[in-house]
Structure 1
Amino acid sequence: MSDVEVFLDDTPGEVRGVIARDGHFHHLLIQREDEITAHRLGARSVGRIVDVQPGLKGAFVDLGVGPPFGFLPTRKGDGVAVGRNMEVEVVAEPRERKGPTLRLIGAAEGAPGLRSPGPTVAETLARLAPGVEPVTGPAAIQASWNAEEAALSSGELFHDTGLDIAVERTRALIAVDLDLAPRPGMAATGPARDRTNRQGLHQAARMIRLKRWGGLTAIDLIGVGHDGEAVLRTARQAFGADPDIVYGPVNRFGVLQLALPWRETPLEELLNDAAGRRRPEHRAQDLVRSLRHSLLSDTTTARIILRCAPEEAALAGPLVARLGPRAHLVGDSAIASGAFAWEEG
């Protein structure tokens, strides 16, 4: 049985959940207090149809929170018409400036608005790792930092087998490159190659899941001339039994293609702006989490003071106040945005 660890970090402003298996991070869940709850995966709302697009086989739905509107794929007989109210559920969160994708539940009455916010982080952790009690406190905060770092990395080297994996996303697809790092006495052929490819498929699935990516995926296996059926069996074990995953054959170049459904907002898009810079609200949240980590780790110091850029102090201040009287945040124009310094209390 695999070694499963679960972490739950409930810091003012943001809740994070982490699942690790056999020492590798598989899930990083994030829910913020200032996010649009109606756009959260699993949220149910009454929405009003504002536009029907037969060419797209769908309709745009006002969920009562303004644009971007949700997109509802439709079928003949759904009874969708402009002005009609429908109960819908979010099946894919917003990404790339697009609104959420919705599933039709049925006709509804009442003004557009949220009816059910969807599962909490704690509930999702319990579903993904049943029976495992979450670790909280400083260890959970550290795990969330480590999981984020792992999720934002583009590759990893596994010294036990020599697997060298790189995972990158473009506008068109997710590209996965599996390679076998040079090792004395090991060639990229036969059983060693096949074993490393199996490991690579499982690690690719884990890394893509951690990054919260979907879409067309091309996995460049080590070598050519593979047993296609064996590769597909391993891929299905690695990526799961989701009926929305479409598996293609291994081509003559040794590339496996598959299409993965989008479910969550990609992590880098959640944390960063279009230019790749960390969003101001997340920089402020970083300060709050760092302060809370210090408070939980050091229970004897009377005052724990953190100095940061004034604009980030303004954003983080209301959240820091919820940490209690020992936590203090000071704006300092001499400190660059995104940086901070500790001051002895």
Structure 2
Amino acid sequence: MSERRLFLDRGIGENRGVVLLDGKPERLLIERDDTPPAARLGARLAARVRKVEPAFASAFLDIGDGLEALLSFKPEARPVEGQMLEVELRTEARAGKLATVRALGSSDGKPRLLAAAPDLAEQLTAFAREGRVVEGREARQIADRAEIEALETVHALAGGGDIAIEQTRALVAIDVDLGERKGQDAKRLTRQANIAALGLAARLLRLKGLGGIVVIDLVGRGHDATALMTAARTAFAPDNPGVSIGPVGRLGTMELSIPRRGRAVREILLDAQGEATDQTVALRLIRAIQTEAQVHGGARLTAACAPRIASLAKPFAEALAGQIGVRFTITPDPAMPRDRFEVRIA
């Protein structure tokens, strides 16, 4: 029976929640302080219908804080421009896409937040009702580990081979590679690899926060369609409701549709070129200082980083100083690469 454990790393400017499935990261939830409350998954809002597009059965809503969201409606429930609705945020906004909401009823007044989204601890316990949320140093180590795995592209399969997961504008592509798997029965070998790949892909898609159309390029030919469909249904069951799994096609691919809810981890942490954003580097710097301060007691610390990272980290450093005291300095170093920093005992 699978076991899920829950961890919450509380940091300066950013909290991270992790679900471990049988000891491996399954979900990484990242909550940054600068995300408007109205933009968080599960927030309940009073929204004004700004524009109705009957041809697309969609309406654009003003949800406050300068934010918009998209509401899909049935013909018999078409809203009217200017109407106030009570809605719940179903999916967070992502690159090029608005957040989506579901209508709960009518409302009045102006667009505003009615009820905040569940916090990270509440979100975590939804994945393991009986689980205890662990915080502290262990949670930070596990969150760091989860972050590293979530940002990787190629992932090893137990027993040999690997899968590569890459997101495009249209879909998520997953390639299964047999690698150095050994065995005399090629058909059995490929069947085992494909079943293992489906289980690994399901966990990693949840970890990476990816969804939408997913195409898995299976290895080999003459697939056992029944066994693979059973394996896929089991692997992706935690993503329900809303998962749709297509049969293995004649070209050896399996297509799935997986509901999107939160933002992808890469979108939160990385820029369009796949590099850590300045904010991500600044938050990592502050976490590193905080961790070293905990490890070394009352020692004074010094950190060096690129000038623009030092500038961005300043408000976070002030908040950290309020927790551990003014016993660290951050020195801008023009020679330091933007994505690197050093923290040491002074």
TM-score interval, smaller chain: over 0.9
1:186 Cα deviation (Å)?
4.4
Q: Distance in 2 between matches of 1:239 and 1:48?
A: 36
Pick closer, same or farther for the CA change 1:291–1:26 going to 2, 3 Å. Answer: same
Q: Distance in 2 between matches of 1:155 and 1:133?
A: 31
The residue correspondences of 1:205-224 to structure 2 (distance < 5 A) are 205-224=202-221
> Secondary structure in 1 aligned to 2:126?
helix
Give yes or no for contact 1:271–1:282 (8 Å, CA) kept in 2.
yes
Give yes or no for contact 1:138–1:297 (8 Å, CA) kept in 2.
no
Corresponding residue pairs, total: 341
Q: Distance in 1 between matches of 2:184 and 2:312?
A: 54
> Secondary structure in 2 aligned to 1:322?
helix
Q: Counterpart of 1:225 in structure 2: which amino acid?
A: G
The residue correspondences of 1:153-168 to structure 2 (distance < 5 A) are 153-158=152-157, 160-168=158-166
> Secondary structure in 2 aligned to 1:143?
helix
Q: 1:338 — aligned with what?
A: 339
Give a deviation string over 1:38-95, Cα, whole Å, max 9, x none.
111111111111111111111000111214x100001123251111111111111111
Give yes or no for contact 1:17–1:28 (8 Å, CA) kept in 2.
yes
Q: Distance in 2 between matches of 1:218 and 1:315?
A: 39
Deviates more, 1:229-238 or 1:198-207: 229-238
Give a deviation string over 1:181-233, Cα, whole Å, max 9, x none.
2244344312x332222211110111111111111111122222223232222
Q: 2:63 — aligned with what?
A: 63
Give yes or no for contact 1:51–1:59 (8 Å, CA) kept in 2.
yes
> Secondary structure in 2 aligned to 1:275?
coil
Alignment of 1:197 with 2:198, yes or no, is no
The residue correspondences of 1:163-202 to structure 2 (distance < 5 A) are 163-190=161-188, 192-202=189-199
1:265 Cα deviation (Å)?
1.0
Unmatched 5+ stretches in structure 1: none
Stretches of 4+ moved more than 4 A in 1? none
Unmatched 5+ stretches in structure 2: none
Q: Distance in 2 between matches of 1:57 and 1:200?
A: 38
Identity in percent? 37
- Superposition CA RMSD, Å: 1.8
Q: 1:314 aligns with which of 311, 315, 340?
A: 311
Q: Distance in 1 between matches of 2:233 and 2:186?
A: 23
> Secondary structure in 2 aligned to 1:17?
strand
Q: 1:53 — aligned with what?
A: 53
The residue correspondences of 1:253-272 to structure 2 (distance < 5 A) are 253-272=251-270
> Secondary structure in 2 aligned to 1:60?
strand
Give a deviation string over 1:221-275, Cα, whole Å, max 9, x none.
2222223232222111111161311211111222111111211111111112233
Deviates more, 1:270-279 or 1:211-220: 270-279
Pick closer, same or farther for the CA change 1:276–1:164 going to 2, 3 Å. Answer: closer
Pick closer, same or farther for the CA change 1:300–1:281 going to 2, 3 Å. Answer: same
